[in-house]
């Protein structure tokens, strides 16, 4: 114990000071800011190396730049392979589309599927279940194809369901197919998402498109940042809405008071409305590449959605329809951090804290 001596000012120990400082949120914030500024900065070790060693390190860096260019070529060839195999997948996807929209009725053989839970059922139980299913089918009106297939897919996937509004659903019931189209050989790297609709009361288009432009080459000013193809921008299409059916706009009424006379008038304004179909009118990316924060956030989310539709939704649509793919996606994430305190939990939704989040897509384009 420290002896108390009257007349002397007793200062806290170094340990006590440290504890007090670490409990002060302002000091903690300042420390974190300082540490963040050190990330990626030289440790001082390089400066301490002899000049002749530094020269050799520079030679290694030049080799690394050449590696980045080879990696870029690798991804270009991966893109070519994707195009090649897309042509092999397409007949199967076309048949899927025909079944969904009732253009083709699959045979008994094609419909046979042994589900896991059926493996242990006795023949008697299977027969009973079959009779009950047939009875239910008789009671219902005979449906055509697989009703609301793509709408169900969208509603089952959080990333897409977050975009959906109630007024989008009647339109998406008319969505018959989604296809991915890759750029032609020799053309700049890109891919398009094609949404096919049956004739409907909402717009006259039968096809809506969204094209994503990609780049697979290291940045001359920062070659070491290259980590695979980047989505550089996207373009949508014009939707030819039927009069009075444009759900991406809404009419609001506002009251305005005259400054001088004090009279009040009601004015009608047309303003943007939340809708999935805003997906087809993304913000323009200026040639300079400079965007405000809102536009940058919208585009980052847009790129992630476009990539997800291309990589997951189109190839595995039936599994998202049944929910099986969603379970697989959940298995991809571990449960670390579940017991974190409230302060950490508040930041769970921030995109910059998500290790899988990458607005430029990068290597994830081929994961």
CATH number for the domain harbouring residue 46: 3.30.1120.90
- In the structure encoding, which two tokens stand for residue 23, read together? 């409990």
- Number of domains the chain contains: 1
What pLDDT does 122 receive? 59
Closest by Cα among 176, 179, 166, 180 to 200: 176
What pLDDT does 8 receive? 45
Q: Tell me whether residue 111 is in a domain.
A: yes
Which stretches of the chain score pLDDT less than 70? Answer: 1-23, 28, 31-32, 34-43, 115-141, 287-289, 328-367
Q: Tell me whether residue 358 is in a domain.
A: no
Q: Tell me whether residue 69 is in a domain.
A: yes
Q: Tell me whether residue 355 is in a domain.
A: no
Q: Where are the alpha helices (DSSP H) in 242-345?
A: 293-308, 317-322, 324-331, 342-345
Place of tokens 């170094």: 14
Question: Quick one: how far is CA 70 from the chain centroid?
Answer: 28
**How far is 206 from 196, CA to CA, in rounded Å?**
6
Q: What is the pLDDT of residues 238-249, one digit of tens each?
A: 999 999 999 999
Q: Tell me whether residue 7 is in a domain.
A: no
Q: How far is CA 35 from CA 40, 231, 350, in A?
A: 10, 31, 20
What pLDDT does 14 receive? 62
Domain hosting 150: range is 14-322
Q: How far is CA 248 from CA 105, 174, 186, 188, 243, in A?
A: 36, 17, 37, 32, 13
Q: Tell me whether residue 362 is in a domain.
A: no
Q: Tell me whether residue 165 is in a domain.
A: yes
What pLDDT does 236 receive? 95
- The H-or-E segment that residue 252 falls in is strand 249-257
Q: Tell me whether residue 256 is in a domain.
A: yes
What pLDDT does 362 receive? 39
């Amino acid at each position: 114990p420290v002896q108390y001596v009257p007349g002397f000012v007793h200062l806290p120990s170094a340990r006590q000071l440290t504890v007090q400082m670490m409990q002060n949120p302002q000091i903690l914030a300042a420390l974190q800011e300082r540490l963040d500024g050190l990330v990626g900065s030289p440790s001082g070790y390089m400066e301490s190396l002899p000049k002749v060693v530094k020269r050799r390190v520079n030679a290694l860096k030049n080799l690394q730049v050449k590696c980045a260019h080879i990696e870029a070529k690798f991804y270009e060839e991966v893109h070519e392979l994707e195009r090649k195999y897309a042509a092999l997948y397409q007949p199967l996807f076309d048949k899927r589309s025909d079944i969904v929209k009732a253009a083709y009725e699959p045979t008994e053989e094609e419909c046979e599927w042994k589900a896991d839970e059926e493996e242990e059922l006795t023949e008697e139980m299977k027969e009973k279940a079959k009779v009950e299913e047939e009875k239910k089918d008789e009671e219902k009106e005979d449906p055509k194809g697989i009703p609301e297939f793509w709408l169900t897919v969208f509603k089952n996937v959080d990333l897409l369901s977050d975009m959906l509004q109630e007024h989008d659903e009647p339109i998406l019931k008319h969505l018959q197919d989604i296809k991915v189209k890759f750029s032609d050989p020799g053309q700049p790297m890109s891919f398009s998402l094609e949404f096919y609709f049956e004739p409907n009361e909402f717009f006259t288009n039968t096809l809506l498109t969204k094209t994503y432009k990609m780049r697979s080459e290291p940045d001359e000013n920062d070659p070491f940042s290259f980590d695979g193809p980047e989505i550089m921008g996207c373009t949508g299409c014009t939707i030819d809405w039927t009069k009075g059916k444009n759900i991406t706009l809404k009419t609001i009424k506002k009251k305005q008071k005259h400054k001088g006379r004090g009279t009040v008038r009601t004015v009608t304004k047309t303003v943007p409305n939340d809708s999935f179909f805003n997906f087809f009118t993304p913000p323009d990316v200026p040639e300079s590449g400079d965007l405000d924060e809102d536009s940058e956030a919208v585009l980052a989310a847009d790129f992630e959605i476009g990539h997800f539709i291309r990589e997951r939704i189109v190839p595995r649509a039936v599994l998202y329809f049944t929910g099986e793919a969603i379970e697989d996606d959940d298995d991809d994430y571990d449960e670390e951090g579940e017991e974190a305190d409230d302060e950490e939990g508040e930041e769970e939704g921030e995109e910059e804290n998500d290790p899988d989040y990458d607005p430029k897509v990068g290597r994830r384009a081929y994961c």
